[in-house]
Structure 1
């Protein structure tokens, strides 16, 4: 009898490992402040050539109507991890910094914790930027004990392995944190240096050299792939880069390689990271059954020297208006490519509207799982665009945009309604400008004829304004934009997008 039981247990084990092995590995590479026009497969007139990112599109789906949840870093990362709009949290505008406490509720399901339950080995290498609790303090940088384990780190949010920096490459403290512990204790003060003018002063660890961060991340990511390609479980690697965000730090043979600018050289380094990931997957024999997602967290950032790019005939935003921070398309309309060699037999261009929150529901459909009502409330699956099969989940028909200063827009079909008179961010016109005071309180654009958002047609289309305002208000107040039981938003109930009403 014992032998029979043991045999049955063995059969179950073999069956489970086979089912794991049949599941695709997943790698999500997220560039930092990369404009859609910086990827040559999107911009035929661009001066930066990205052959390795382009090759992903040649073996996958290039989405041309993809958007981040916000025009800045932290909010987009929250949306990727949770499948939920960032402004439903207490963070109504701006970003977190290196000493800030967690934005993700530890009890909330993340895409990483979900994939753990589906049998995936999960890892994150890169820029976290979602807050955690340093050592012996809740917030702030005074008297931090860097020898203590970080609480509410990525490991708390579903990652078996983590190797991260706390925030952007220009935000202190400057330290690597591996599985909750600093790899070296920060003790010296870094006050910036020539060529890194945007490098904020702060404490730095002895093993942290800003120029080496992209290379160190790549080394750790490739190591994760090498280790987990040999195991029965599939793996999920979230790989949020800290480049080409400022400070602009091309090194070695990449210096001057683009013949455009140091920023363009840095973009080429990002492109080379993609090359190394693909080659490592191929070396391990797992490339064909690995889904690779490549995107950016928002548009090009002006501090990366827009004038230098334009002087060489290169526009990181292409025909789109605005940059990072702005509610205009240039702030959140991003490159988004999904490669899966085993399933995608020929390259495809998809015009399906997608948002970076949609990753969660897509992997849920991939695993034939239905999510609870309080999970991924703003996530729609785009799996059918990848597989070519009939959708089994609802596809996205509208999307809410958000600027760095907390202003909203909503997009449905060709219409985009912006709930302010200005850029909503650092672009022109700024909220406090005299120009903004003279403009209508809202903006409506027909993107089918005016992709540059130059002609405000709100006065000619009152019914469209009414319809989109009602839809925006409902999706905010319901606590979700997908079907299901209404949920609760956190923080104050005041919403910038409604302030024009009654004027």
Structure 2
């Protein structure tokens, strides 16, 4: 098992983190990269899948079964300390695609709404544009949740700019969430099957809001996972061996509403919630099988993860509570859930398979974040990032952690996370400091019980049960200063050149 070198006393760790935040981005030598034949890349980003929701992350097999996803754990590497930059959907998706914290934009809290404009500036580099510039064919299929257009999106007209303007060659998506108010699919720049610009009565969404009433075929919730997966498989089938491909596949499972298909309904021991996890597992299996049928498994880097923690409920009649009473702990032993500032909102499954490069059945406890995927893939294709570029400002190259390369220091000197009410936390070594302040622009402030300064030693107290801010005020003050410094500087990484650091 890979160690994370965090046994030193906290003052040395914190001092090293402060220095590292000002000096270097760890890198990997060119000898470890694919030179001539760059790997195909598939990122599967599940929705609301918590840390304890897979058998490979200790979920009881009598409650749920995730053999397809766990195939990646057996054939690759399982991370125990992978994190999202936010405990809610769209800020994490922005961070993954751009390598930049979403709160550095005008989105200081909450999520992107169905009719909001494209949240990623078309001048900003994304994973898709990076890979496309290196000769990859690129596709974004599944949940989008990052907006379309330049103002309020008009779904009766071409939805531009959109994914095709930030590096993707192909796009097929649910615009925002499973069950969202649009009720339709978008393919490339337009609503699928749009018949006219008039409104039609189509009832209410599962959230109790009126559907937009677009004159187009309406999605059937029980069929959405199958239709998204089928589209992804068809796109994969069209790829050729002479051109590498990048698939960003974002299933709507396991986001509410829980609508398993006839194939998975009733198959788990935890009701609809567990059945919906089975639906996700079935989808992942189809993607992996498609890659195998293409005879591309050996040449494909697959990353499976989630956009935030699970929706934990312990009381009431909702499916989440039913699953809890059956024994499923969607976020494992961690405190909190989606939307919260605690680890249950950020810690997520993270599995990497890359035959011949990533050791099968291995485990890594290095602290990483989904914003690190940008710099890591840049290293994979040997296109290092430079300090003078406003690109992936918060992304660290964690390829050594994926490949099991020995390194003496943590690859990430610190990490900032935030909840949708604008509450910030920073992690450094074993310490996690929670600022406890809401976004100043919020009119209604949820989760007020979390809005106070807190300090936890996650090495000794992974469940965040003991707030030790009064016992270690110096640690809290130093972390508060580092948090403010990194926010003001506009970036977390101060890299020089990746090639310079490979010697």
Q: Could you tell me the TM-score, scaled by structure 2's length?
A: 0.84
Q: Distance in 1 between matches of 2:209 and 2:70?
A: 31
Q: Which residue of 2 aligns with 1:318?
A: 332
Give CA deviations for 1:78-109 in whole Å, capped at 9, x if unaligned: 00110000100000000011100111111001
**Residues 178-235 of structure 1: per-residue CA shift (max 9 Å, x gap):** 1112111274333347xx466763325315222211111101111111111x241100
Partner of 2:230: 219
State yes or no: 1:177 paired with 2:189.
Answer: no
Question: Given the alignment of the two structures, is residue 256 of structure 1 paired with residue 266 of structure 2, yes or no?
Answer: yes
What is the aligned partner in structure 1 of residue 397 from structure 2? 381
1:346 to 356, 360, 370: 360
Q: Distance in 2 between matches of 1:190 and 1:460?
A: 58
2:175 to 145, 166, 177: 166
What displacement does 1:467 show?
Answer: 1.4
Going from structure 1 to structure 2, the CA distance change for 1:42 and 1:199 (only over 3 Å counts) comes to farther
The aligned counterpart of 1:190 is: 202
Residues 1:459 and 1:24: Cα distance change in structure 2 (over 3 Å): same
CA distance in 2, matches of 1:282, 1:459: 55
Match of 2:64 in 1: 48
Residue of structure 2 equivalent to 1:72: 88
How many Å separate the matches in 2 of 1:145 and 1:343? 44
Q: Which one of 299, 305, 329 corresponds to residue 295 of structure 1?
A: 305
Alpha-carbon distance between aligned partners in 1 of 2:423 and 2:77, rounded to the nearest angstrom = 31
Cα distance, 1:421–1:139 mapped onto 2, change above 3 Å: closer
- Note the residue ranges of structure 1 that are not aligned, 5 or more in a row: 1-18, 486-503
User: What is the CA RMSD across the aligned residues, in angstroms?
Assistant: 2.5
- Name the CA distance, whole Å, in 1 between partners of 2:179 and 2:236: 28
Give the match for residue 469 of structure 2: 458
1:476 match: secondary structure: helix
Q: Distance in 2 between matches of 1:203 and 1:54?
A: 40
* Separation in structure 1 between the aligned mates of residue 429 and residue 406 of structure 2, nearest angstrom: 21
- Deviations along 1:35-66, one digit per CA (max 9) or x if unpaired, are 11111100244622211111101111101001
**Residues 361 and 200 of structure 1, relative CA distance in 2, 3 Å threshold:** farther
**Alpha-carbon separation, structure 1, partners of 2:356 and 2:209:** 43
Structure showing greater Rg: 1
Residues in 2 aligned to 1:97 and 1:90: alpha-carbon distance in whole angstroms: 14
After TM superposition, the structure 1 = structure 2 runs for residues 264-283 of structure 1, keeping only pairs within 5 Å, are 264-283=274-293
Distance across 2 between alignment mates of 1:258 and 1:245: 17
| 1:448, distance to aligned residue in structure 2 (A) | 1.3
Give the drift of 1:170: 2.5
Q: 1:480-500 CA deviation, whole Å, 9 max, x = no partner? A: 000159xxxxxxxxxxxxxxx
1:27 aligns with 42
**Which segments of 5 or more consecutive residues in structure 2 lack a partner in the other structure?**
1-33, 497-503
Q: How does 1:230-245 map to 2 (within 5 A)?
A: 230-245=240-255
State the shift of 1:420 in Å: 1.1
Change (3 A) 1:162 1:465: same
Partners of 1:199 and 1:241 lie apart in 2 by 22
Alpha-carbon distance change, 394 to 180 in structure 1, aligned in 2, over 3 angstroms: farther
Q: Which residue of 2 aligns with 1:14?
A: none
Give the superposition deviation at 1:254: 0.7
Q: Give the 3-state SS of the residue equivalent to 2:248 in structure 1.
A: strand
- Total equivalences in the alignment: 448
SS of residue matched to 2:238: helix
Report the Cα offset of residue 302 of structure 1: 4.4
Aligned equivalents of 1:384, 1:151: Cα separation in 2: 38
CA contact (8 A) 2:114 2:181 kept: yes
Choose which of 372, 378, 390 in structure 2 pairs with 1:364.
378
Could you tell me how far apart the structure 1 residues matched to 2:223 and 2:108 are? Answer: 33
- Structure 1, residues 438-458: CA drift from partner, whole Å, max 9, x if none? xxx300011112111111100
CA spacing shift, 1:265–1:476, aligned 2, 3 Å: same
Shift of 1:251: 1.3
Confirm or deny that 1:138 pairs with 2:157: no
CA 1:20–1:463: 2 relative to 1, 3 Å: closer
1:455 to 1:277, Cα distance in 2 relative to 1, 3 A:
same
Question: Residue 430 of structure 2 corresponds to which residue in structure 1?
Answer: 414
